[in-house]
């Protein structure tokens, strides 16, 4: 090969010997002139020497031109890889943005709920009652999970969640209610129960000790009740039967709690779900009412609830039949449920058993006094007082008619219970006077009992007060 240069043109001459020539009949050489420096010159203009074969085809001539087609697959592969990497990066970026947004929203919801909780429950001691000071606090999810041994210590199941026994690192023992997967209704129940229990403080109401909010998890932490629910003692096998006097005292405890809710709360409350599973017993078998998820407050602030149209809520067998039909709620709905609970205490039968309502089933035995003993739980045998049984049956009849207006108030029920059932009461305390109660300057209500030395006389030696006494008010 020979290369020639002049001022404007450079070109190369390729000489092929006869045996190296790619074309047939090649004689001499083929010259290709490449213009390098003159832009106006035609590019890549092959010129055949005079000695080249004139009959060579264009396709044959192209064989001598170097080809760059073998570079194309490499470039396409690089482009494809780049597109794929870019697409994956964009996809991962979108997922990351979505996760960050969701996490921010969850944290925002938790912070808002925390603010609401601390507005209702300031982080300071709430009350100092007979059991010492109680504080309301926020618990972390981690310590709640650890205290319940990874939520394995189940002690109860309710309509709104599962209850676990928890023992925290400082020795504090509590009952932890884990709310069902949070829905709009579940969130409402959670907030309502927190708000109500935060301002309800009474010896016969289960006290709220704290809460836990973590993402979509909601927990309420209550004081622990050593002896579980009344339902367990009445219907579970393997439990020692409750004595007759214990059952009577439980009836009085629940009535005291209802008196507080109906008369001394501001505003007054209907519990709406009085039943044996919501009556908890401490180590001394003192009864306390729990589960305020369905509680309804009087909008007018009046003791005598005006009928309020509400969605029907409650437990079959305990629900007021008038409320079920009219959907109008009054405090007399709680009175009906209390009457069913009394029957359950006496008979140890469920509110609905063998497809029969307990109130309807009992009518055959309450029709005549001679059959009253047949109502009593066989586990008690003859260890009951017939006159006290007659009093309980009278109260049941009084509380369970279908028309709410003929049912008594809980004050009237308490009066009858104390006058007839408490053996320490007779001769020591005056009966509450016929006037139900008198209003005080603050709009609260007071009742009259026997007073000595400016102190109310208590009964049974356990600081439980007489009808309408100070134990029915907040501490």
The pLDDT value given to residue 153: 93
Task: Find the range with the poorest average confidence among 41-55, 135-149, 286-300, 399-413.
Answer: 41-55
Q: Is position 177 annotated in a ligand binding site?
A: yes
Which residue, among 320, 376, 370, has the nearest Cα to 343 in the 3D structure?
A: 376
Instruction: Report pTM.
Output: 0.65
Strand partners, 449: none
pLDDT interval class at 112 (50, 70, 90): low
Asked if residues 15 and 64 have their Cβ atoms less than 8 Å apart, the reply is no
pLDDT of residue 42: 47
Catalytic sites, residue numbers: 273
Q: For each of the domains in the chain, give its residue range(s) and CATH number, in order of start.
A: 1-51 (no CATH), 105-223 (3.30.200.20), 230-472 (1.10.510.10)
Residue pair 372/390 in contact (Cβ under 8 Å)? The answer is yes
Q: What is the mean predicted confidence (pLDDT) over 183-203?
A: 75
317: left (phi over 0), alpha (psi -120 to 50) or beta: left
pLDDT digits (tens, 9 = 90+) for 132-186: 335 678 899 999 999 999 999 998 887 678 999 999 999 999 999 998 765 555 6
Average pLDDT for 315-336: 92
């Amino acid at each position: 090969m020979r290369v020639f240069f002049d001022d404007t043109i450079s070109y190369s001459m390729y000489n092929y010997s006869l045996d190296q020539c790619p074309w047939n009949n090649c004689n001499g050489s083929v010259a290709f002139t490449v213009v390098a420096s003159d832009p106006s010159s035609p590019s890549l203009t092959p010129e055949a020497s005079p000695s080249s074969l004139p009959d060579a085809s264009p396709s044959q001539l192209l064989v001598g031109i170097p080809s760059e087609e073998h570079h194309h697959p490499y470039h396409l592969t690089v482009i494809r890889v780049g597109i794929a990497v870019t697409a994956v990066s964009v996809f991962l970026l979108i997922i990351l943005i979505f996760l960050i947004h969701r996490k921010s929203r969850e944290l925002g919801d938790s912070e808002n709920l925390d603010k609401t909780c601390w507005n209702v429950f300031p982080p300071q001691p709430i009350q100092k009652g007979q059991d010492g000071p109680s504080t309301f606090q926020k618990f972390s999810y981690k310590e709640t999970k650890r205290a319940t041994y990874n939520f394995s210590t189940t002690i109860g199941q309710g309509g709104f969640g599962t209850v676990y026994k928890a023992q925290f690192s400082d020795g504090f023992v509590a009952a932890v209610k884990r709310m069902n997967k949070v829905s709009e209704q579940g969130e409402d129940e959670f907030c309502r129960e927190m708000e109500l229990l935060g301002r309800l403080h009474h010896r016969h109401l289960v006290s709220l000790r704290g809460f836990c909010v973590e993402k979509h998890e909601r927990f309420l932490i209550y004081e622990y009740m050593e002896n579980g629910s009344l339902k367990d003692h009445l219907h579970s096998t393997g439990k020692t039967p409750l004595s007759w006097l214990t059952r009577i005292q439980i009836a009085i405890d629940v009535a005291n709690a209802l008196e507080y809710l109906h008369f001394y709360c501001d505003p007054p409350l209907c519990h709406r779900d009085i039943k044996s599973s919501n009556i908890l017993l401490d180590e001394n078998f003192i009864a306390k009412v729990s589960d305020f998820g369905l509680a309804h407050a009087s909008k007018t602030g009046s003791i005598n609830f005006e009928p309020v149209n509400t969605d029907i809520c409650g437990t079959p067998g305990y629900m007021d039949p008038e409320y079920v039909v009219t959907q109008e709620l009054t405090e007399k709905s709680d009175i009906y449920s209390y009457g069913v609970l009394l029957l359950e205490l006496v008979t140890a039968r469920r509110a609905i058993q063998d497809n029969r309502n307990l109130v309807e089933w009992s009518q055959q035995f309450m029709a005549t006094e001679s059959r009253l003993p047949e109502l009593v739980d066989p586990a008690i045998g003859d260890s009951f007082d017939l006159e006290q049984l007659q009093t309980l049956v009278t109260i049941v009849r009084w509380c369970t008619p279908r028309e709410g207006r003929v049912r008594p108030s809980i004050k009237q029920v308490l009066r009858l219970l104390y006058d007839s059932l408490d053996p320490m009461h007779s001769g020591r305390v005056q009966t509450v006077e016929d006037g139900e109660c008198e209003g005080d300057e603050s709009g609260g209500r007071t009742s009259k009992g026997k007073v000595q030395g400016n102190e109310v006389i208590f009964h049974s030696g356990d600081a439980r007060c007489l009808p309408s006494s100070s134990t029915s008010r907040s501490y």
